[in-house]
Chain A
């Protein structure tokens, strides 16, 4: 009896520790299909292709920004730098920052930005690419990103950080401008890493 109870307890504890799979699901032929990040292909600050296979067998954090953003981006990047300091030695995790300003944020501009942020380009990809593809993929991450001449810097977007697992499922998110939410998010990253 005790063994069964202990087993149940251990089980429920493990379930508590597991992060949920987020986003809508659909049922196809009796199987539940969870929301997945679709195929993508963008180019990073080192002119290298970044695709889903770049993150094969890794978890990753995604966000959307632009280098001349005068509003929330520097604060989000400051918090991502904190995360970078904590996780950049871990080969199981990567970052991807998508620029939504495809006109001004050339590969060269992204390279300059990444170097001045003093981060390793093989860990943290700053990507650009086809404008529609970038805005479409933002929808898939449930991040709002709009071109808006009335917004500061010409774009209206959220500073949300998204955590994606090895199976392209979204497992956590937070508001990247909020230090406490980012602290919780880092705990979620640890949890997901512990899933193996």
Chain B
């Protein structure tokens, strides 16, 4: 029984170190990483970073950009980024909340988790143009 204590600690550490949002991670890789990069670093002054981005603190910014795209000229951490972002209208509120939760907990980001109902409510208030 004693021997199982370190094993339990190891198991706990392994679980704690894994990202809690594997579906969000998969969706991020499929829809976001091409431009925002796997490490969320973005690209120069063309594509904004998601790691340490001050725009993530407002849920509406994130979900509206994902669902409806964005014009160029978005300001993140005081820097203006020029490239427009395409829309991903095919993503459901559940998928968007998975992505948001991945963004909120990756690369040092430490923002609270969201649920699909919160995402849906934020989506209802989006005013951004659809850039499809």
Contacts and interface: CB of A to CB of B under 8 A. Distances in A.
Contacts of A108: none
Given A70-B86, A112-B82, A116-B82, A75 B46 contact: no
A116 B83 CA distance: 9
B35 A74 contact: yes
B20 interface: no
B44 interface: yes
Nearest to A71: B34
B96 interface: no
Chain B binding surface SS class: loop
A77 B35 contact: no
Q: How large is the interface on B (under 10, 10 to 19, 20 to 34, 35 or more residues)?
A: 10 to 19
Interface string B19-42: 000000000000000110100010
Given A116-B44, A117-B43, A78 B37 contact: yes
A78 to B, nearest CB: 6
A77 B84 CA distance: 17
Contacts of A117: 43-46
Contacts of B47: 74
Contacts of A77: 43, 46
B63 to A, nearest CB: 19
A75 B34 CA distance: 6
Nearest to B46: A116
A125 B89 CA distance: 36
A118 B82 contact: no
Contacts of A118: 44-45
A70 to B, nearest CB: 6
A69 to B, nearest CB: 9
A66 B17 CA distance: 38
Interface in A27-62: none
Interface of B: 34-35, 37, 41, 43-47, 81-84, 86
Give 7 nearest A-B pairs by CB, closest first.
Answer: A116-B45, A117-B44, A74-B35, A116-B46, A116-B82, A74-B43, A118-B44
